[in-house]
Amino acid sequence: MNKVIIFSAPSGSGKTTLVKHSLEVFNELQFSISCTTRQPRGSEVHAVDYHFLNPDEFRQKISEDAFVEFEEVYTDKYYGTLKSEVEKIWNQEKVVIFDVDVKGGISLKKYFGEKALSIFIEPPSIEELERRLISRGTDDAETIKTRVEKAEEELSYAKEFDKIVINSDLDIAKKEIESLIKNFIEETRS
């Protein structure tokens, strides 16, 4: 099958919620665990939610050409997708599902080309995005300010993706995502 589905969005858009929903609905999907140098949030677990590495370990993997794509999103805050992770999932005859930032999503789409369905999750507004980040309760005010500024820039890249889903109503967004994935998987089989 060797296909991938890429979810990208500004932080706080509901991307991770929609990815988790997709994994519950479709047995054909398997989550690609990204690497990051950021600290775990809340109940996040190493090798389940992310492969948590320190910056030196991450840079070592860069020098080994171990990544499909990687990005230094903030100073010493890296995110990346391991080639070995993708191969492992494909060997299980599953479709890889990615939950990545916007630049990562664009890089993955370029890398995988026609094998990829790229979906941009858009918040209804910047104000709503900020409200979601605050209510999440995982970031301080300065981090939220940085994320909102970054989101404003990231929204300009939405057109680079195959599909845009505006997440103003979660149930509607879930249905839209289900339809997109179902069509992509069925197209893969034919």
**pLDDT tens figures, 127-186:** 988 998 898 888 899 999 998 999 999 999 999 999 999 999 999 999 999 999 999 999
Distance between CA atoms of residues 98 and 20, nearest Å: 11
Describe the strand order of the beta sheet including 77-82 as a list of residue ranges. 51-52, 35-36, 77-82, 67-74
Phi first, then psi: give them for residue 72, nearest 5 degrees.
-95, 95
Both tokens of residue 43? 């109940």
Identify which of 149, 163, 88, 155 has the alpha carbon closest to the alpha carbon of residue 118.
163
CATH number of the domain encompassing residue 177: 3.40.50.300
**pLDDT tens figures, 11-37:** 888 899 999 999 999 999 999 999 999
pLDDT-derived band of residue 89, with 50, 70 and 90 as boundaries? Answer: very high
Compute the Cα dihedral for 137, 140, 145, 150 and give only its sign: negative
**pLDDT value at position 80?**
92
Query: Average pLDDT of 81-105?
Result: 94
Total domains in the chain come to 1
pTM, full prediction: 0.86
What range defines the domain where residue 25 resides?
A: 4-189
